[in-house]
Amino acid sequence: MTATPSASGGRSLPFPRLLAFSTGSTPVYIMAILVGVYLPKFYAGHIGLTLLALGGVMATVRLTDLGFDLALGWLMDKTHTRFGRYRPWYAAGLPIFAIAAYQLFNPPAGAGTSYLFIWLIVVYIGYSMLALAHSAWASRIAGAYHERSRLFGWMQCMAVLGTSSILALPLVTGGRINPAVSTTMGAVGWVVIGVALVVVPLTLFAAHEPVTAEIKKERTTVQDYLAVITTPSMYRLIIAELCLVLGPGVTGPIYLFFFHDAKGFAFTVVNLLLIPYMSAGLLGAPVWARVAVKLGKGRTVQLACVCYAITQTALMAIPAKLFWPTFAGMFAVGFCASAFLFLLQAMVADVGDEVRLKTGKERQGILYAFVTMTQKLGSSMTVSVIFPILAAVGYNAKETAVNTPAAIHGLEMCYLFAPIILVAAGGLLLIGYKLTPQRHAQIRADLAALEAASLAGAEVSLTGEPAEESPIAAE
């Protein structure tokens, strides 16, 4: 595949290359579910950290790491190499991610909050390099509105396949490797490292990074970066994404506790119940991508929010210890939730075109830095809010603890109400979202004209405001 300097962001990838490229998101998704679901139990139940200490460390790490994402996004956008802006950063994230994964899942005897803090910071640095670069790179490969839904949908599918494989490890290994069993977490870490060592090189060789012409030759100003933050489409997406990360995410740190203590399943069964939730994205992502072709991305996310609230309520109504109804309920909730992140990421790529037309500069790195910042902020808020509440109602997370009915009830209320309220808020924020397929098509046409003029050596001057006759002027 040849990189061509065009507003379309290059030709569509042939399907085999598209699949290979899409695997690049797998390591960070696997790490996200392990840190969000299994690591709290490992460090609280096995290593011995208190819930308050664990929640404090994880929240502090996420908040500390936010500034790094912005700096990284800025550096990516400023990078110019023969391999592209984002591709070299993706390659550089591999060794950092692998080393940190080993340390995080193989703590020495006596490891405490300082050890967890350091290696969580390092793993999130590698995580950010892989996630930011891969998403920004994907936005350059797929330029058309619906092509982005397709590419980001397949990225979600491959990530779901990878995380489902991790969850299936107890079945595949006969129970010798199980993320829910603390004594096997070292082996789980090696599996994560092995996945990263395979898929990152595969992704690097699957696609080139298309070259885009510089529309604006002047130096970058503060106003250029303010244009990123103040673009109405972007700040609305950021707030909506925060709600949609917090919603399903708030169930992650308490998932094992809820299904074991409130629903009465053994930990081995609890681990199996995550498989339908995660694997639902294999069907959900392509289905929601097709719906987005008909309704547009924003309306599709809103429809998924309504469906999520219905299915989450139905899941809570299923009586305890009923495996197959719970299995089906988890699949339904996962199917609905699978629409959120990949469609929002594709919408951010569209905003990148809007910002590029406004400023004349590539800003995908900064835009996706806001995306990863929002995800980390949302994840840190779930832990720092939910764990103190559980502690306040008397819930004890130690493996040998026996909790009171009041503590179990508090656990159930956290699992039920928080995700529904937050997801509903995320859907409401997208009412009136104006970056429609038609408006985006006009933006792409304007970008193509400006690029052609720039490549022909014409003097192009951008004022930051679209032409009066352009349909994109109405905001």
Q: What is the pLDDT of residues 385-424, one digit of tens each?
A: 677 777 777 888 776 778 888 888 888 888 888 889 899 9
Residue 6 lies in a domain: no
pLDDT of residue 171: 84
Domain limits for position 104: 25-208+227-458
pLDDT of residue 4: 39
Residue 469 lies in a domain: no
467 has a pLDDT exceeding 60: no
Residues 6+ apart with CB under 8 A from 88: 79, 81
Residue 277 lies in a domain: yes
Residue 57 lies in a domain: yes
Q: Give the other-Cβ count within 10 Å of 103's Cβ.
A: 18
Q: What would the mean pLDDT of 220-234 be, rounded to a whole number?
A: 70
pLDDT of residue 225: 64
pTM score of the predicted model = 0.76
Residue 215 lies in a domain: no
> CA nearest 167: which of 186, 192, 198, 146?
192
* Residue of higher predicted confidence among 462 and 190: 190
449 has a pLDDT exceeding 90: no
pLDDT of residue 214: 58
Tokens for 393? 């109602």
Residue 20 lies in a domain: no
The whole-angstrom separation of Cα 235 and Cα 241 is: 10
Contact 313, 339 (CB under 8 A): no
User: Structurally, how many domains does the chain consist of?
Assistant: 1
pLDDT of residue 178: 86
Contact 177, 170 (CB under 8 A): yes
Question: What CATH number is associated with residue 272?
Answer: 1.20.1250.20
Banded pLDDT at 458 (limits 50, 70, 90): very low
pLDDT of residue 175: 83
Residues 6+ apart with CB under 8 A from 336: 284, 304, 305, 307, 308, 311
Tokens for 269? 């069964």
Choose the weakest-confidence range: 128-132, 135-139, 210-214: 210-214
Q: What would the mean pLDDT of 31-40 be, rounded to a whole number?
A: 85
Contact 344, 350 (CB under 8 A): no
pLDDT of residue 473: 36
The whole-angstrom separation of Cα 152 and Cα 142 is: 9
Q: What would the mean pLDDT of 166-180 be, rounded to a whole number?
A: 85
Residue 270 lies in a domain: yes
Residue 468 lies in a domain: no
